[in-house]
Amino acid sequence: MSQANGKILLTLPRSKQLRPLIPLILANLPGASLRLAVSGSGEDFTRKTDDLLASIPTDQRSRVECVECDLTNFAQVKAAVAGATVVIHNGPGMHPLESEMGLNAVTASSEPGSSVKHFIFCSVIHPLRVKMTNHAAKLPVEERLIESGLGYTILRPTHVMQNLNLKAILETHKISIPYDPTILHGFVDLSDLQEVIMSVLQNPEKHNRATYELVGTNGSYDDAVVGAFATVTGDKFEVQKVAADDEKLKAMGMATPYQREACRRMLFYYTFRGLPGNSNVLRMLLGREPTDWVAFLQRELPKVSK
């Protein structure tokens, strides 16, 4: 049985990176089944599971299994991994136990008797920039994976374009950024990232032992991003730097003191160093030009306007 015809485990299936993969896998890998490792228990688990299944066509739900899995609980991770041929792991950013979760997933996948043949790790561009805790957390997971003996592919995406709240920007004509908007950053469209993941799933041997830095385009918010909005809409937009106070960080999903501190470190770093990269690798993997801001907005803004 090929890996594409086996069971594929997603360890964070409700995440921005992995959730859109579910319909893609079901549509393009007809011999595959999915196991979704969902955190929580009781009513929380049921609510999350119902939410995931609601977006899956009824005739495809028999190919999808949801299992309760606390990624810090090795026994639960091992149970979730059992029988899977491919694992796609994306750790929860800004979590104090992110490294432990990733190490659990790799260790469970590589134990004697494991059926896992290929492990796809959604890391981050430049994890060696350890001044940012959410980057440093990926390094030990990458090291364990490379040494595990598993077939693996490490994906290192930069900022995803989908982080912007397009609805709010269209309503206010302002792009609010909690760090210096003049600094150069790299950006990638989630659709391009998902296309790469699908390529790996369809031909894992071709991508075995590969580490890919995934950058679609470089630019600053006050130039490239504002310019793209103006080009696509014909309107004028402006960018403003906003303070990263506790209320702002909570609105960004940083619920705990650890998360807010980690986020402050990241934003401080962004202000002085940015996060640019090179688009050659993504261009090679896609076999076309990566999505830039203009193409992204041309595709996404009509959806917001409806």
Residue 204 forms part of a structural domain:
no
- pTM, two decimals, is 0.96
Q: How many domains does the chain have?
A: 2
**Do 38 and 119 belong to one domain?**
yes
**Do 229 and 146 belong to one domain?**
no
Residue 106 forms part of a structural domain:
yes
**Do 125 and 7 belong to one domain?**
yes
Q: What is the pLDDT of residues 91-105, one digit of tens each?
A: 999 999 999 999 999
For residue 119, the enclosing domain spans 3-157
CA distance 243 to 276: 23
pLDDT of residue 305: 72
Q: What is the pLDDT of residues 250-265, one digit of tens each?
A: 888 899 999 999 999 9
**Do 12 and 152 belong to one domain?**
yes
**Do 58 and 151 belong to one domain?**
yes
pLDDT level of residue 110 (50, 70, 90 thresholds)? very high
**Do 123 and 50 belong to one domain?**
yes
pLDDT level of residue 1 (50, 70, 90 thresholds)? very low
pLDDT level of residue 248 (50, 70, 90 thresholds)? confident
